[in-house]
Amino acid sequence: MSSTNRMLVKAVGFLIAAQLVSRMLGFFRETLIAGFYGQSGSTDAYNTAFILPDLLYWLLVGGVLSAAFIPVLSEYIATGKEEEGWRVVSSVVNLILLSLGGLIIIGLVFTPQFLHLIVPGFEKTGNIGLAINLTRILLLQPLFMALSGLTMGVLNSYKIFWPSALGTVLYNASVIFFGTILANPAKPESISGFAFGVVVGAFASFAVQVPALRKVGVRYYPIIDWHHPGVRRIGVLAVPIIISYSLNSIQVTLNNNFGSRLFPGSITALWYSYRLFQLPVGIFALAIAVATFPMMTEHAALKQWDKLRQTISQAIRMVIFITLPMSVGMIVLRYPLIRVLFQHGHFTAQDTLTMAIPLFYYAFGISAQSVIQILPRAFYALQDTWTPVILGIISIVINIIAMFLLIRPLAVGGLAFATTIAAGVNMFLLLYVLRRRLGRIDGWNMFWTALKSMLASLLMALVIWMWSQWLTPLIGVYTLASLIVLVTGTAIGMGVFAGMAKLLRMEEFNQTMGLLRRKIKTR
């Protein structure tokens, strides 16, 4: 294994472990909310309250961070211009924080008008007042998330990943702590305890990264140098991403608009299903994307094209190998999965049946959504932010059209299926254009990895389905019984998939087993 591969595998291994802990805490948080408040109007209001704060964060920080901040800073570091890079960082940070502060104040004032626009159905159900209060609490979050995200960008440019990973763990732990101690199911407004925990958690996520930031020798300047080439380049690179997130917000708005007009709890069913859909994406694909991004930017800056292709190919093949069986397994075991994670307290068996519908349609898009975490970053490493945005606009338009067409026949499932269709279109467009840009992208190896993974996953699905069909009538569908079906089905599925992967001589299987052996030996 090359030194690049070893570095990639080591970084990915750590980030996957950290993301796994964070996601487990995140699902424990969602389970608590479901148990306290069920799938109801109050949970619809809570989930809706994130839209405006998230929009402000992604418009001003997320796009700059993912598409411009890290590539430009990494280039300064790789070319020995670190001091100049810190002046660029200071200017960008100062500009973002000042702009974000102003928008937060405006958001606090116009929260009611914003929510009346995106969730008009809340006026009939009486949830609009709670949604307004929760949104105003959560509007404090983007400021701390901006500090955390920008700090993470600096540390990632130095290939330091653990502080931000630890920050996500503290974030979820804070939400769980404050939400639990302030929860009162008899009072729907008490769900604001979870919103308060989000704000505290966002601050903790930033604070835990500060020592590592000081260790790399942070240098801050109270300047906004509009004319610096690095600042202007970040601005140019960030503009298309800002446009992309603006269009994406239209998609989110329509999703909630449609959901608010369906039965109470529809938005929550979509949100919880989306959380499960994002589980493998967040744990595995995002970890691989974060670990490979600084490497891709370094290869591109030094014009090491073969290494860049190798890094992109390995990341995509690893993502496909991991997420395809998880996608198929989630489809087959979705009912016991929902019962174990959510069906307790005020979350009923009917809520499980409702939630299983969007989860079924979301699960088909897990692998496509996972690959999408890698491909835009390849373009960003080439300092091309417009191509992913243009292709993303096409997929967003397709998503919106699909929602209009599918909402009537499939209801809440149609909104989920629209997301899956758009993710698939976006993935294939990105692959096609990247191949034209780089000349080749190791496409045949990606194809064979996908084909072999699909064959192994389908056999795995058949075995799991037969097992669950035999076992469920014997032991029932209560929580413990569902846990047994879920755990045994997962174990059997992993065994079948691993056996098929070994039989098919998949390189990704050998890499995974090698990583596990090295981890065991080091303990």
Is 461 within 8 Å of 332 (Cβ atoms)? Answer: yes
Q: Is residue 508 part of a domain?
A: no
> How many C-beta neighbours within 10 Å does residue 87 have?
19
Compute the mean pLDDT over every residue in the chain, rounded to the nearest whole number: 85
Model confidence at 381: pLDDT above 60: yes
Number of domain units in the chain: 1
> How many C-beta neighbours within 10 Å does residue 278 have?
18
In the numeric block, which tokens belong to residue 50?
Answer: 């994130």
In the numeric block, which tokens belong to residue 212?
Answer: 């590592």
Low-confidence winner among 163-177, 191-205, 408-422 (lowest mean pLDDT): 163-177
- Report pLDDT for 281: 87
> How many C-beta neighbours within 10 Å does residue 463 have?
17
| Largest pairwise CA distance in the chain | 72
Residue with tokens 């959380």: 275
Q: Is residue 160 part of a domain?
A: yes
Q: Is residue 336 part of a domain?
A: no
- Report pLDDT for 181: 93
Q: Is residue 434 part of a domain?
A: no
Low-confidence winner among 13-22, 219-228, 470-479, 512-521 (lowest mean pLDDT): 512-521
For residues 314-342, average pLDDT: 93
Q: Is residue 255 part of a domain?
A: yes
Pick the more confident residue, 479 or 123.
Answer: 479
Low-confidence winner among 190-199, 379-388, 401-410, 419-428 (lowest mean pLDDT): 379-388
Pick the more confident residue, 313 or 72.
Answer: 313
Is 447 within 8 Å of 496 (Cβ atoms)? Answer: no
Q: What is the pLDDT of residues 446-480, one digit of tens each?
A: 899 999 999 999 999 999 999 999 999 999 889 89
- Report pLDDT for 522: 47
Q: Which of 168, 210, 219, 177 is nearest to 196 (CA)?
A: 177
In the numeric block, which tokens belong to residue 230?
Answer: 């690095």
* CA 86 to the chain's CA centroid: 29
Q: Is residue 338 part of a domain?
A: no
For residues 10-18, average pLDDT: 65
Low-confidence winner among 105-119, 133-147, 157-171, 247-261 (lowest mean pLDDT): 247-261
Q: List Cβ neighbours of 3 (8 Å cut-off, separation of 6 or more).
A: none
Enclosing domain of residue 86: 41-262
Q: Is residue 118 part of a domain?
A: yes
Is 189 within 8 Å of 133 (Cβ atoms)? Answer: yes
For residues 415-434, average pLDDT: 94
Q: Is residue 217 part of a domain?
A: yes
3-state secondary structure of 344: coil
Q: What is the pLDDT of residues 200-240, one digit of tens each?
A: 999 999 999 888 888 877 777 788 887 888 788 777 777 77
